[in-house]
Chains A and B, each alone.
Chain A
Amino acid sequence: MISTKLMQVKSLCSYTCLRKLSAVSPKEKQVTKEDPVLNHPDYFNVHNLFTVKDLFDARVHYGHRDGSLDERMLPYVYGSRLGHVIFDLDKTAEYLRMALNITAHVAYRDGLILLFYRGSQNSHIVEKTAKDCGEFAHTRFWRGGIFTNANKQFGAITRLPDLCIFFNTLNNVLTQHTAIRDSAKMSIATIGVVDSNCNPNLITYPVPGNDDSPTAVELYCKLFKQAILRGKEKRKEHESHK
């Protein structure tokens, strides 16, 4: 609840500066195409944040039992080892680098980033990550309408996040987090770590990997925190040059 209240406060103070930054007239439409930041394949150097060995050591390759496999996850899976799904870490690294790049870009454009995790074991580290990089976290029960009915619920025009990062996408073993559907409804980009029993379809930038192990969640938190901080750092640098 606190996180959404904070979202309101931030919306008030950063709204004007955001307008200034993203106000581009149709004539300038071509300018964004030639933006050096966007045209660079990896402007924030996020590819060097991790190696496949790091992913392996953090046990990102472990999926659930193959009986609970969601068939839409098949292209990301390497195979089944004695009944347990194993992820293809080369593919995971590719998707994770893409997700980190998007995160850094959104942070660079002063976007509002909201981190999600359901599950008591790892929720504290996710909240701490959000605090460390000056963003927001929601790790509790999701009350319906926080996105879809925000203006009524908070009694004011509310700025919704620009990017939602889900470190797990399930509420419990069966149901998907409602915020994924709601983000799609409100046209908010999403990044989600999808385990072998999840549905990656509605997530804009899915990252196949283990979402239960504390080591894996710690690694994700560390990486996304660094990506956000790199984006913000570049933003500060460019603003001081102007």
Chain B
Amino acid sequence: MAGSRLEKIGSIYSRTSGLIRSGALSWEDRPLWYDVYEAFPPKEEPKFDRPAPNMRLKTIFYKEDKARALFHQNNRQIGAGVLTNNTTKSLTQRFIETYEKLEEQTQGSESMESLYKQAIDMLNRERNTRQTSEGSEEVSLSNAFKKAQKTLVQQEDAPKINVKVSDIFKD
């Protein structure tokens, strides 16, 4: 079957239709995709030398990025988050939410720094109330250690059973 291997000239469609027009390739021997390509041509012709468009890569920024930058500047270590968790909000998200709420309330009369301080205070208060309500359920290494020590003491207090292993295997 006739074919053109000059992939740098034209597209696969233009080369094949050129061969069909010149009679080198018969209409019956056209490739299977030929009709489909004619019915659904691609948006841009797939040419090797298609030049790159003269466009600039735009940067994506949001209005709340200023508050986010301020938060991250003052808090370098904010711990790890789980990216697959869509149900709970991250610390940064919660900060931005409270910050925006405060900004709306004050209507731009306060500076960024004071808004930041107020938002951090609110978040801290929220965290304290949550800790007291949850009580000792918080998981931490020191808590686990304390719990283990408590059970150890309880076990020591419990009446000991006098069983000697050597007695069991005596006879």
Contact = CB atoms under 8 A, between A and B. Distances in A.
Contacts of A181: 7
Interface string A169-190: 0000000000001001111110
Contacts of B169: none
A107 B35 CA distance: 13
A187 B12 contact: yes
A202 B27 contact: no
Interface in A22-65: 22-26, 29, 32, 35, 38-39
Q: Is the interface of B mostly helix, strand, loop or mixed?
A: loop
Contacts of A86: 60
A95 B42 CA distance: 9
Nearest to A69: B57
Interface in A142-188: 148, 162-163, 181, 184-188
Contact of A22 (B28, B37, B53): B28
Nearest to A163: B33
Contacts of B31: 162, 187-189
B28 A162 contact: no
Interface in A80-136: 80-81, 85-86, 95, 98, 101-102, 105-106, 109, 111
Contacts of B53: 71-72, 74-75
A24 B60 contact: no
A101 B151 CA distance: 66
Interface residues of A, number: 49
Interface of A: 18, 22-26, 29, 32, 35, 38-39, 66, 69-72, 74-75, 77-81, 85-86, 95, 98, 101-102, 105-106, 109, 111, 148, 162-163, 181, 184-189, 201-206
Contact of B36 (A70, A102, A184): A102
Given A72-B52, A205-B42, A79 B60 contact: yes
7 cross-chain pairs, A with B, having the tightest CB-CB distances, nearest first: A184-B7, A71-B52, A189-B33, A79-B60, A38-B39, A162-B32, A185-B5
